[in-house]
């Protein structure tokens, strides 16, 4: 870590004491009240604490000048500086900064200065009558520039808005997200996700809807354009919408964007579009799925398209399911944007099995197996039969294994076996027995790789015991996995002697 001011504080006890009081940046309080992690998986290094139990962290490479995240003891977090030096500029210039997180630069200079004057007068009256001289001393010693309170509030506000998605803080055990310090969150997800589609839509309009541009050849750009066209409808767009419909029908299979393209073309109710749709239907099974029952003429097409539009799409982006924008964000490569939105949704989802299943699927696609496991565990808790709980826990075991939680995976697979045994005793004939054995064997291999000897031996023994009860193992090809697990455990035994 190369922040100059931080090194000076670490090397000078008197300066460190001055930073701790009255500016509440105490190098001796760097232990946070609980284990925390960044949702992105980036490094997080505690460097100091506050007298209320909060902690200052450097995000990213600990040897670089990363941004500083402040986490309070009551579950709130936000970026307060682009580096430690910038954070110390803000803390020195605005010792009452936590009173200003509800302000924005748009509040005007007079209101901002009045808020600062009120807070600092209270600081002088209650515990730091010499704060002005102390501020000047610390600034001089650390060679911090003197900035106006208004400029510092503007910089603080910009930092706070940068917190999500890249610096979303989680409780390290339960994986729940900290609340935002910023009282003025940035634009809604749909605005961010629609932006590239809107730009491409304008490019297509400029090029002419019936001329190729390459945009429609890219399935992600095509999906983004179709979403943009959903909320900015023009009759003149019909040629380009027809082209996008053809490309979507030929490339994407039964996608939601195919339904949208059909609706956007079909609402015009033009007889001239019927031959186009008939031709696509005859050579494309996806279109037969998307337009069912098949309309007999343009009037029926318009009626069908309007009903579909009203039921699934509409013209208000804020009224769409958040999953629409999360999926599109993921497809656009906005991994952290999608992840942050999914975690926020998961934190706020109650006993809704369908929503939990959708969240689990999206988190799994992102490769965030710990959060996917959290969603799956909540889903399992809502199941009413031993069979669905057992199969659900089997899925939970896989997610925990992929997240690196091998003891948790083993616990889940044991509970899955107990549930399935207690359901109807028919799990082996239903095929789930093979999946259960396979998961036990994969836990064995993972445990052996991690050097978890006891877990590897136990899981292998359980898998072999279940195989002895089964009648299907000779037909499954699972024997190769069994042999691999045996060799892995044997190597552990050899290494222990």
Q: What is the DSSP string of 368-416?
A: -HHHHHHHHHHHHHT--SHHHHHHHHHHHHHHHHHTT-HHHHHHHHHHH
Alpha carbon distances (Å) from 328 to 12, 153, 228, 349: 51, 34, 12, 20
- Quote the tokens at residue 93: 């210039």
pLDDT of residue 470: 67
Q: How confident is the model at residue 155 (pLDDT cuts 50, 70, 90)?
A: very high
Pull the structure tokens for residue 89: 């500029």
Q: Is the dihedral of CA 447, 453, 457, 459 positive or negative?
A: negative
Q: Are the beta carbons of 49 and 31 closer than 8 angstroms?
A: yes
Average pLDDT value over all residues in the chain: 91
Query: Among 324-328, 334-338, 418-422, which stretch is predicted with the lowest mean pLDDT?
Result: 418-422
pLDDT at residue 342 greater than cutoff 70: yes
pLDDT(112) > 90: yes
Burial of 363 (0-12, 13-18, 19+ CB in 10 A): buried
pLDDT, mean of residues 441-463:
95
* Region 85-91 average pLDDT: 96
**pLDDT computed for residue 182 by the predictor:** 86
Confidence (pLDDT) at 1: 45
Q: Rounded mean pLDDT of 82-108?
A: 93
- Whether residue 22 is preceded by a cis peptide bond, meaning omega within 30 degrees of 0, is yes
Confidence check: pLDDT of 226 > 80: yes
**Which of 356-365, 383-392, 473-482 shows the lowest mean pLDDT across its residues?**
473-482
The reported pLDDT for the residue numbered 249 is 87
- The DSSP-derived string for 187-202 is S-HHHHHHHHHHHHHH
Q: Report, as an integer, the average pLDDT of 232-257.
A: 89
Contact, 60 vs 66, CB < 8 A?
A: yes
- pLDDT band at 373, cuts 50/70/90? very high
What is the pLDDT at residue 209? 56
Count how many residues are written for the chain: 497
Which pLDDT does position 467 carry in this prediction? 83
Domain ranges of the chain: 4-180, 189-319, 417-497
Q: Answer whether residue 2 shows pLDDT above 60.
A: no
Q: Show Cβ contacts of residue 97 under 8 Å, excluding neighbours closer than 6 positions.
A: 80, 90, 91, 156
DSSP state of 294: P
Give 254 or 147, the one with higher predicted confidence.
Answer: 147
- 179-180 and 76-81 beta bridge pairing: parallel
Q: Find out whether 343 and 180 touch, Cβ atoms under 8 Å.
A: no
How far is Cα of residue 371 from the mean position of the Cα atoms in its chain?
9
Pairing of strands 44-49, 68-71: unpaired
Confidence check: pLDDT of 28 > 80: yes
Residue 362: is its pLDDT beyond 80?
Answer: yes
Distances (CA, A) of 380 to 387, 408, 420, 424: 11, 15, 13, 18
Its pTM stands at 0.92
Average confidence (pLDDT) over 457-464: 94
Contacts of 277 (CB under 8 A, 6+ apart): 262, 265, 266, 287, 291, 301
Phi, psi of 136 (to 5 degrees): -60, -40
Q: Across residues 175-197, what is the average pLDDT?
A: 93
pLDDT confidence of residue 278: 84
pLDDT at 35 over 50: yes
The model's pLDDT over 274-297, given as tens digits with 9 standing for 90+, comes to: 998 888 887 777 666 656 677 889
* Burial grade of 127 (CB within 10 A; 0-12, 13-18, 19 or more): exposed
DSSP H or E segment with residue 169: strand 169-171
Q: What is the pLDDT of residue 212?
A: 62
pLDDT score of 494: 64
Angle at 31 between CA 375 and CA 42, to 5 degrees: 50
């Amino acid at each position: 870590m190369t922040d100059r001011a931080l090194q000076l504080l670490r090397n000078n006890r008197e300066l460190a004491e001055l930073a701790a009081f009255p500016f509440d940046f105490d190098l001796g309080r760097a232990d946070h009240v609980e284990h925390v992690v960044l949702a992105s998986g980036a490094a997080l290094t505690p460097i100091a604490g506050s007298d209320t139990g909060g902690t200052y962290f450097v995000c990213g490479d600990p040897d670089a000048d990363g941004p500083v995240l402040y986490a309070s003891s009551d579950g709130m977090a936000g970026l307060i500086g682009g580096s430690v030096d910038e954070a110390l500029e803000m803390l020195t210039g605005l010792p009452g900064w936590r009173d200003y997180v509800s302000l924005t630069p748009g509040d005007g200079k007079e209101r901002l200065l009045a808020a600062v004057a009120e807070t600092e007068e209270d600081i002088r009256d209650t515990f730091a009558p010499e704060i002005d001289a102390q501020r000047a001393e610390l600034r001089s010693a650390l060679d911090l520039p003197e900035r106006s309170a208004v400029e510092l509030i503007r910089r603080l506000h910009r930092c706070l808005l940068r917190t999500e998605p890249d610096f979303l803080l989680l409780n390290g055990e339960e994986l729940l997200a900290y609340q935002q310090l910023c009282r003025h969150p940035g634009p809604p997800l749909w605005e961010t996700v629609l932006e590239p589609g809107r730009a491409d839509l304008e490019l297509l309009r400029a090029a002419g809807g019936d001329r190729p541009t390459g945009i429609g050849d890219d399935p992600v750009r095509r999906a983004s354009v179709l979403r943009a066209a959903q909320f900015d409808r023009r009759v003149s767009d019909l040629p380009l919408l027809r082209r996008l419909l053809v490309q979507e029908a030929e490339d994407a299979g039964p996608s939601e964007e195919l339904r949208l393209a059909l609706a956007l073309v079909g609402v015009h109710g033009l007889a001239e579009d019927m031959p186009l749709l008939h031709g696509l239907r005859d050579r494309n099974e996806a279109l037969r799925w998307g337009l069912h029952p098949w309309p007999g003429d343009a009037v029926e097409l318009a009626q069908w398209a309007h009903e579909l539009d009203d039921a699934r799409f509409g013209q208000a982006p804020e009224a769409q399911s958040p999953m629409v924008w999360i999926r599109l964000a993921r497809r656009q490569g906005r991994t952290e944007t999608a992840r942050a939105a999914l975690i926020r949704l998961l934190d706020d989802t109650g006993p809704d099995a369908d929503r939990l299943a959708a969240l689990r699927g999206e988190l799994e696609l992102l490769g965030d197996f710990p959060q996917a496991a959290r969603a799956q565990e909540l889903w399992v808790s809502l199941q009413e039969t031993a069979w669905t709980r057992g199969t659900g826990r089997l899925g939970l075991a896989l997610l925990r294994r992929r997240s690196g939680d091998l003891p948790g995976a083993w616990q889940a697979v044991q509970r899955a076996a107990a549930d399935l045994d207690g359901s109807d005793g028919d799990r082996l004939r239903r095929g789930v027995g093979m999946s259960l054995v396979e998961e036990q064997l994969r836990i064995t291999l993972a445990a052996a790789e991690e050097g978890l000897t006891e877990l590897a031996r136990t899981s292998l023994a359980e898998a072999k015991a279940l195989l002895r009860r089964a009648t299907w193992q000779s037909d499954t090809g699972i024997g190769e996995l069994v042999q691999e697990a045996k060799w892995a455990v044997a190597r552990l035994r050899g290494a222990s002697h």
